[in-house]
Amino acid sequence: MGVRRWNGWIDEGAEPPAVASGAVRLLEAEIGPGAPPRDATLGEVVASLGASALADEAGLSIDPVDRIRHARGQSLPDWIALRSGRLGRVPDAIVRPATSGDVRGILELGRRRGAALIPFGGGTSVVGGVMPDLDDDRPSIVVATELLTGLHGLDETSGLATFGAGTLGPDVEAALGPHGLTLGHLPQSWERSTIGGWVATRSAGQQSLGFGRIEELFAGGRLEAPAGSMVLPPHPASAAGPDLRQLVLGSEGRFGILTETIVRVGPKPRVEAVPSWVLGEWPRAVDAARDIARARLPLSMVRLSTPIETATTLALAGEGRGVRALRAYLRFRRVGPEPCLLLVAASGDEKLVELAVREVGSIVRRHGGTGIGGSPGRQWLRSRFQVPDLRDALWELGYAIDTLETAVDWSRLPDLAADLGRTLRHGLDDVGERVHAFSHLSHVYPSGSSLYATYVFRLAADPDETLDRWRRLKDAASEVIVRHGGTISHQHGVGRDHRRWLAGEKGELGLGVLRDVSARLDPDRMMNPGVLLTDARDERSGRR
Ligand SMILES: Cc1cc2nc3c(=O)[nH]c(=O)nc-3n(C[C@H](O)[C@H](O)[C@H](O)COP(=O)(O)OP(=O)(O)OC[C@H]3O[C@@H](n4cnc5c(N)ncnc54)[C@H](O)[C@@H]3O)c2cc1C
């Protein structure tokens, strides 16, 4: 992995991947031809930058390119700001602590200078989690965790590994691999995100069904808060009152800076199989996914695509021989009017994997589905970390692509999924634009499932107009999610973009408790203002 380009996802200097002609045709037919707006150059953004308010402070980077590179994350509003060069505010400085002691020094500096501090891991937040608050006139310092890295300790007997919080996904696995161990936490952003960022956002890996979400893997660590240090011991279980680890999980930089992360690791599975099936219609496919979840088989992933997502996946896969053969096979088997692709991953030893795959096969057949072999699964394994590169490619064709996600009980899922799809598809009718929207179940649980939606719409010539299109879609989709009893985020966190909907989920008292915790740990309110919680000052000024 190289250095990420300053205004996108792919490596600096790399070309975006080609989009299959079938997928371009599909988009043109569904939402019309795209016209890419002109991107601002890095030189233009550097030239427009104001002076740093912290230029007189030693030990901080105020290099303009460094400031721009740490100004935003990876949400669509972040992309619009970066591509148009209309960043609003950029941080005044970047600082790179190497030890918990350094972090304490930075907290003291922040207090002394009346600055806001923004913890920054991989900067892959898709909810506006890593940017200076546009309404806060204090200077801001990004605390980049890129030197807080490496395996600090490994207790093989207990299966506990201690990592610096800034360690990137591939470095976590590279450190564990020689010991035959794995964490197995593989969000799609794995190559560019950090273990501390995962904890701070309660992330879900693609195979969390088997390995566990980060909240199950996070055993303890060290949080440096403005009010002091909080050491979280890695007890296997404890009845000693509420678990403080749960406060750190999902705290999104509001309560302090996580410097060390202790995680539960396990033996690397001997085999991994990703077989696939196709079911003929969505309601029966959902029933099958639910039955699989309830069977509690040793699976690491169940991923079920709606008919529209299945058709889009096939279009993106191009017109190679394999895809043509699959289409012919589906016609021959008369699978059903609206094929839904089901991918399942099973990891472990040979016997368990074989048993799990056989059981899934019999559940799927009971619901009218048919096996289509290992080729879609192999393709998924090969490309799973490259799919996000499409964002760069589509942008350059004049299209914005974004995702949103929720989790809801099985009983409410069908209505939520139908309403969400309709809402996204018609969300820009008022402005005469169409939207291509599709979704899949990405994580299944005995009582419900996550729902992960992707939507594509055309970029406008004016970045403010593109932002307005995004906001219409995001607001309408969030209202639908909340109305149907879904969580406002299954995995991406709250950041700025979901903050408005948090009170509905936590209740005013619950949110008040979190605000009180923030006030106790961070009396000067310097940690990541504007993210997760509104604070008293926000409320006084009427911000939500
Ligand atoms: C292409 C793409 C795919 C993605 N796929 C997934 C996915 O499959 N599953 C998933 O869950 N998410 C996914 N995400 C979202 C994102 O990658 C996760 O939220 C991830 O956990 C963020 O990690 P990070 O290191 O990049 O954190 P950052 O983006 O740098 O920070 C995220 C938040 O955590 C805070 N923070 C970071 N480090 C620390 C620390 N050490 N101490 C205290 N606070 C800290 C930041 O202030 C911020 O509020 C994806 C994002 C992208 C762009």
- List, for residues 219-254, the tens digit of each pLDDT value: 999 999 999 999 999 999 999 999 999 999 999 999
> For residue 469, what are its two tokens?
């299109």
Gap between the Cα atoms of 228 and 522, Å rounded:
9
Return d(Cα 251, Cα 129) in angstroms, integer.
11
Per-residue pLDDT at 221: 98
Taking the C-alpha atoms of residue 253 and residue 249, their distance in angstroms, rounded to an integer, is: 10
From the CA of 77, how far away is ligand 1's center (Å)?
16
Q: Looking at ligand 1, which residue's alpha carbon is closest to its atom 7?
A: 187
Assess whether pLDDT exceeds 60 at residue 391. yes
pLDDT-derived band at 509, boundaries 50, 70, 90 = very high
Quick check: CB of 122 below 6 Å from ligand 1? yes
Query: Could you identify the residue written with the tokens 């900067």?
Result: 123
Per-residue model confidence (pLDDT) at position 537: 60
* Spatial distance between the Cα atoms of 307 and 439, rounded to a whole number of angstroms: 9
pLDDT, tens digit, 9 for 90 and up, residues 310-329: 989 888 877 666 666 777 77
pLDDT at 361 over 50: yes
Fold agreement (54-144, 499-540)? no
Percent of the chain clearing pLDDT 90 (strictly above): 88
Q: How far apart are CA 10 and CA 6, in angstroms?
A: 9
Answer whether residue 336 shows pLDDT above 90.
no
Q: Whose CA is nearest to atom 50 of ligand 1?
A: 189
* Ligand 1 neighbourhood includes 391 CB (under 6 angstroms): no
How far the first Cα of the chain sits from its last, in Å, is 38
Residue 491 alpha carbon to ligand 1 centre in Å: 10
Report whether residue 449 contacts ligand 1, using a CB cutoff of 6 Å: no
Percentages helix, strand, coil for the chain, rounded to the nearest 5? 40, 20, 40
The model's confidence at residue 337, banded by pLDDT at 50, 70 and 90, is confident
CATH architecture entry for 54-144: 2-Layer Sandwich (3.30)
Return the CATH fold of 271-385. Vanillyl-alcohol Oxidase; Chain A, domain 3 (3.40.462)
Task: Return the amino acid letter for 138.
Answer: R
Domain locations along the chain: 54-144, 151-235+242-267, 271-385, 499-540
- Poorest-pLDDT segment among 35-39, 303-307, 369-373: 369-373
Binding site membership of 200 for ligand 1 (Cβ less than 6 Å): yes
| pLDDT value at 544 more than 50 | no
Which CATH number describes the domain made up of 499-540?
1.10.45
CA distance 228 to 96: 20
State if residue 253 touches ligand 1 by the CB under 6 angstroms criterion. yes
Residue 140 C-alpha to ligand 1 middle, in angstroms? Answer: 20
What is the topology classification, in CATH, of domain 151-235+242-267? 3.30.465
Kindly report, residue by residue over 422-453, the tens digit of the pLDDT.
999 999 999 999 999 999 999 999 999 999 99
Q: Could you tell me if the CB of 312 is within 6 A of ligand 1? A: no
Q: Which atom of ligand 1 is nearest to the CA of 255?
A: 43
pLDDT tens, residue by residue, 460-491: 999 999 999 999 999 999 999 999 999 999 99
**Would the CB of 203 count as within 6 Å of ligand 1?**
yes
Contact indicator for 24, 390 with CB cutoff of 8 Å: no
Q: In this structure, what token pair is assigned to residue 324?
A: 């043509």
Residue 501: pLDDT above 50?
yes
What is the atom index within ligand 1 of the atom nearest the CA of 531? 49
Q: Is 228 exposed, middle or buried (0-12, 13-18, 19+ CB in 10 A)?
A: exposed
pLDDT tier for residue 535 given thresholds of 50, 70 and 90: low
Band of residue 411 on the pLDDT scale cut at 50, 70, 90: very high
Question: Could you tell me if the CB of 103 is within 6 A of ligand 1?
Answer: no
- Ligand 1 pocket check for 330: Cβ under 6 Å: no
Arithmetic mean of pLDDT over the chain: 94
Q: How many percent of the chain have pLDDT more than 70?
A: 97
Confirm or reject: Cβ of 493 under 6 Å from ligand 1: yes
Q: Is 145 in the pocket of ligand 1 (CB under 6 A)?
A: yes
Q: Whose CA is nearest to atom 8 of ligand 1?
A: 187
